[in-house]
Structure formats: structure tokens, C-alpha cells
Amino acid sequence: MSTLAITNVGTMVSGDLARPRLDADTVLVTDGRIAAIGGSELAQDTRVVVDANGSTLLPGLIDSHVHPVIGDFTPRQRMLDFIDSCLHGGVTSMISAGEAHFPGRPKHPAGVKALALLAHESFKNARPSGVKVHGGALILEPGLTEADFAELAAFGCWLVGEVGLGGVSKPEDAAPMVKWAHRHGFKVLMHTGGTSIPGSSTVSAADVTAVKPDVVCHLNGGPTAVAPDEIERIITETNLAVEIVQCGNFQAALIIARLLQERGELGRLILGNDAPSGTGVIPLGILRNLAFLSSVGGVEPAEAIACATGNTARVFGLDTGMIEVGRAGDLVLADAPLGSAGANALDALRYGDLPGVAMVVIDGHIKVDGSRNTPPPTRKASVRV
């Protein structure tokens, strides 16, 4: 039985909007899952003990929008180890919005099915640096049938990449396929806004309401946003999950945050990078989203963290994203960076600073002991084996 205890936590952030903070200072992880939450007595007789030294514990961050290919390489930016770099920014899970950058990507039914299955199996069998990359997002192309969705579902595929990336973009063509996808347990993402890559399509509020995906991707632009009145239509006329991304329009992001808060619907908001893209690779992009929402967008830091963890987990049906007994032991220790006006990680976010990541844990295993990408945390964690 493998056991890890993280104790002496200063602030524990749950990832749950209904209860953003937990009154506890210790988390016990056994066989990859959170086994108990409470006081320091949980750390007794534990094989590996992490002393958080008063820093902040939060669930592993989930990037709701990535465009991987195979392994930890992106041909779009011609670089290796971008997923490992995101791990050093506290990201423990990623959702593929479609492997659209695959060189020579096939655009017929047999080819897109083969690519989805290949990516799904590859990331399932070989996690880059331990990060849980949910790959194999089927890109919709003309000619797909309901039997194709059933076939992929039988192999465990469950994502449809951004509607609009492929040849199927008009609502009258996409809506029947989305119904097939839902019938076979798929989660469906939909591109929103201006075109992002050659071959993609401009998508409006009317298109979104007609197609009815699960997630309205990059409502703040990927990278070009729809007009403010279109944003308002999508938020007020649907109950769909909406996404803010780092590679988008920040004015539009503020409009989205304001509307959702006014309506008491922050639970619909999830956060992604939309990278690798022409904008580049942003390893600290989810942390930057948190700092932006907390310092400029008027969202409480612990609630912003829930948008990047528990909200995303709920939308996609993941077993991570919250500090809760039974959930996967994916955790991040962070603190105010050296020199910050903030007293802890949440204060730092409120000031607009990126927290220093002290440790990243996936399934109860320490994957990062001191981030190479964030500023150093004021308080460092220590490990006793």
C-alpha cells in the first residue's frame, strides 16, 4: 500500500465552488486516491510525509483546451517537452480539443477515426511526465456515421474535438453528428469566434445554440472573439459550459467573467490555454488565467481555482479536480513568490502575481519538487521518507 501525507498546510483550496476552502491541514493519499482529509494525526506511520511549511494546497490544475499531437512534441511550434513544462505550472490533466496539428492530418472518415484512436491509445498508455492527457478528440468530417461513433466509443474514445476545425461546420451538418456523439457518451467541444487555422470556420452564437455542444470553446476568442452581444446571447440563452483561454481576447474574458458572476453562474466557467497554437506554448497559462481573473476580473482566488479544477472535472466527468475523499491524488503545493505583496498563494493571485509552485503530485506520486518555471515560493516544502 503506497501512502503519501501532505501536512502543515496553511490554506487548503477544495476546487469546489460550493465550499472553496477546507478547514484542514493534512491530506492523506493511498494507492493514488485521497483517503482522508483532516489534522496532522493522519500523517502518523505514513511512508512519505510532505511538510507544506504553511503553504497553500490546491487540486492539480486542468487545462481544458490543448492541441497535442503524439507524445510531448508540438509540430506547430517545433518544440519538445511542452507538456512537461505545463506540469511545472501545476497542470496535472489536459483535455484535447482535437489533434488538428498532426502533419498531413487525414480528412476522411476512416482517417479521422484512426487518428482519434491512435491519439487516445497513445496518451492512455504513455503519459508525458505523468500528466493525464485525455487525447483522441475526433474531428468531424463529412461522411461520418453513427456507427463510427459507436465503434470509437467501444475502444474508449469519448471526446469530439472543436466542431468547426474540420469539414463539418454548418449547424445542419454538425447537429446530427453531435446527437450521435451524445448518444454514445462523447463530450463535444465547439469552436467559437473567428477562424484559428486554415480550414477552420467562423462560429456564431446562432451556430452554438443550434448545435448544442457540451463546451463553448474559447468564448473569449481563439484568438478572435465574437462580439460582446454574441457573448451575452450564448451565456443568457444556453446553460452550456463556457471556456476562457489564455490565447484569446482579454477584454472579452472580462465580459464573460462579469456576466457569469452577475448571474450566479460561475459554475459554468472552465479555463484553458488553447495551445500549442500560433500564439505559442504558455506553460504557466492556467496560472496566468487565475491571476487575471483574481486581480482584474473580480473573482475570488479560491473560486477562480475551482474554475480551473472542479468545474472542468464536472464538465468532463473526471475523477480529479477536487480535494475530496475518493478523488485522484492530483495536488499542487504553492505559495506567494519571493518578493510578492501577497502573504500566500491566494493573496499573490489577488495582486496579480503568479504563485511559486513548490510541488506537484499526480496519483500520490511527487512529479515536481520545485518548479523550474514559476518564481520560487516564499515557503518551500520538505519531504521525509
Residue 200 has pLDDT above 60, yes or no: no
Once rounded to an integer, what is the mean pLDDT over residues 241-261? Answer: 97
Predicted pLDDT of residue 193 = 84
42 and 114 belong to one structural domain: no
57 DSSP β-pair partners? 12, 333
215 DSSP β-pair partners? 189, 241
For residue 95, report the phi and psi dihedrals to the nearest 5 degrees: -110, 120
Predicted pLDDT of residue 310 = 98
Q: Which residues does 45 contact at the CB level (< 8 Å), separation at least 6?
A: none
Which of 254, 283, 312 is the C-terminal boundary of a domain? 283
Q: Which residues does 297 contact at the CB level (< 8 Å), separation at least 6?
A: 253, 254, 257, 258, 304
Q: What distance in Å separates the CA atoms of residue 83 and residue 384, rounded to the nearest whole number?
A: 28
67 and 8 belong to one structural domain: no
Q: What distance in Å separates the CA atoms of residue 322 and residue 305, rounded to the nearest whole number?
A: 10
159 DSSP β-pair partners? 137, 187
- For 121, the grid coordinates are 491509445
pLDDT tier, 45 (very low <50, low <70, confident <90, very high otherwise): confident
Q: What distance in Å separates the CA atoms of residue 40 and residue 38, rounded to the nearest whole number?
A: 7
CATH assignment at residue 115 = 3.20.20.140
Does residue 33 contact residue 50 with C-beta atoms inside 8 Å? Answer: no
The answer to the question of residue 124 being in a domain is yes
The answer to the question of residue 312 being in a domain is no
pLDDT tier, 169 (very low <50, low <70, confident <90, very high otherwise): confident
Predicted pLDDT of residue 204 = 82
Q: What distance in Å separates the CA atoms of residue 154 and residue 184, rounded to the nearest whole number?
A: 9
Residue 67 has pLDDT above 80, yes or no: yes
Q: Which residue has the cell 454538425?
A: 174
265 and 359 belong to one structural domain: no
Predicted pLDDT of residue 297 = 97
State how far the alpha carbon of 114 is from the alpha carbons of 110, 136, 142, 157, 162, in Å: 6, 9, 15, 11, 17
- For 132, the grid coordinates are 493525464
The whole model's pTM is what?
0.97
Residue 201 has pLDDT above 80, yes or no: no
> How many structural domains does the chain have?
2
The answer to the question of residue 295 being in a domain is no
Give the domain extent around 260.
61-283
Once rounded to an integer, what is the mean pLDDT over residues 227-238? Answer: 95
Once rounded to an integer, what is the mean pLDDT over residues 264-292? Answer: 97
Predicted pLDDT of residue 385 = 85
- For 49, the grid coordinates are 510525509
Closest to 190 (Cα-Cα) out of 240, 119, 250? 240
Predicted pLDDT of residue 378 = 97
Q: What is the per-residue pLDDT across 84-111, written as a single tens digit (0 to 9) for each?
A: 999 999 999 999 999 999 999 999 999 9
Predicted pLDDT of residue 198 = 55
pLDDT tier, 304 (very low <50, low <70, confident <90, very high otherwise): very high
Dihedral of CA atoms 34, 36, 42, 44 in degrees, nearest 10, equals -50
CATH assignment at residue 362 = 2.30.40.10
